[in-house]
Structure 1
Amino acid sequence: MIFNFSFKLIASRGCRFSLAKTYRAVSSASVDVLWQKIINLADVSWHPLLTSTNVPKGLIAKPGLIYQEVTRLIPIPVRVFVERVRPGELFSVRLIAIPGIEKRVTYQVESTVCGTYVSYSVTLRGWLSPFVWWMIRPYEARVAAELAHAAEQLTMNN
């Protein structure tokens, strides 16, 4: 497991904050298996922070798709907007839960000689971001590793 920490806290006038962090993990699963786990928005059982989504099984993530997900911390649906999708490479979404916080999440997958790397980047913006980051940080730190583990389990079972 490899962690790449790029933590930034930027405070500008007006109490606007931005927090960014990237986590990486290596997996023995192929890029295709990892990619299928990422874009299967109906199955978030591997995600340490999410419990469910309202996405029907079989729906393929496309830019512009809006759906809801429910977190383990607060059972309130959060609206999610799919921003970018580059098949087999990159998946980016923006979450808008409450006023004062915006969260952007990006998954990247790349194949190397050492295995398949999955990168999970999270950016929080807004005046509530320091408080929200304090609450979700332990969960966010596990996302890349849990994704890699779930993909490896899927590979072993097939």
Structure 2
Amino acid sequence: MPDHFYGGADVILNFSLKLMFAQGRLFCRFSLYKRYRAMSTAPLDVLWYKLINVADVSWHPLFSKTNVPLGLIAKPGLIYKAVTRLTPIPVRLFVENVRPGELLSLRVLTIPGMEQKITYQVESTLCGTYISYSVTLKGWLSPLIWWLIKPYSARVATELAQAAEQLLA
């Protein structure tokens, strides 16, 4: 396996925990931002197509299938369901923003007490194509959710790179 999958991945972690006392109650605010970055030898167009084809999540380590018809691509305002590899209960995903060839932003609509935003960015350079996968979690359930999805989230960018490179092989 090429060394750019493991040795060249960048990881940025930022989190905050705030305890507040107001009106006789204790409130806890937790937020986490984590970004993973990997490099691929696949062209930007191939990576972008693999990413916006929301019906095909075979490469994704956390999602196993979606309810989207084959060939449908991500567009702002699209709401669809995806089944995770952790539970058979589907989660709803909302496509917030799409900048063709650059950015795909999704909001995961799960349960009250937790807010999750996922952002994919692709960038073509002379050395190859970079993929950034960012996860932002907010809410009091975020530490528990992060504990569950962390091993899967760490692999998303590299799995996308591998899937795009397999299309070319």
TM-score (norm 2): 0.90
Q: Which one scores higher on RCO, CA 8 angstroms, separation ≥ 6?
A: 1
Unaligned runs of 5+ in 2: 21-26
> For structure 1, which segment, 78-87 or 53-62, has the greater mean C-alpha deviation from structure 2 after superposition?
53-62
CA distance, structure 2, for counterparts of residue 114 and residue 36 of structure 1:
20
Max Rg structure:
2
CA distance, structure 2, for counterparts of residue 113 and residue 48 of structure 1:
28
CA distance, structure 2, for counterparts of residue 24 and residue 11 of structure 1:
25
1:92 aligns to what? 105
Query: How many residues get paired?
Result: 156
Unaligned runs of 5+ in 1: none
CA distance, structure 2, for counterparts of residue 131 and residue 79 of structure 1:
19
C-alpha contact (below 8 Å) 2:29/2:139 kept by paired residues: yes
Q: Are residues 1:127 and 2:140 paired?
A: yes
CA distance, structure 2, for counterparts of residue 6 and residue 145 of structure 1:
15
**Identity level (%):** 66
C-alpha contact (below 8 Å) 2:9/2:39 kept by paired residues: no
Give the drift of 1:130.
0.7
Aligned ranges for residues 117-156 of structure 1 at < 5 Å?
Answer: 117-156=130-169
Give the 3-state SS of the residue equivalent to 1:81 in structure 2: strand
Give the drift of 1:118.
0.6
Give the 3-state SS of the residue equivalent to 2:82 in structure 1: strand
CA distance, structure 2, for counterparts of residue 9 and residue 117 of structure 1:
24
Give the drift of 1:3.
2.3
Give the drift of 1:11.
1.6
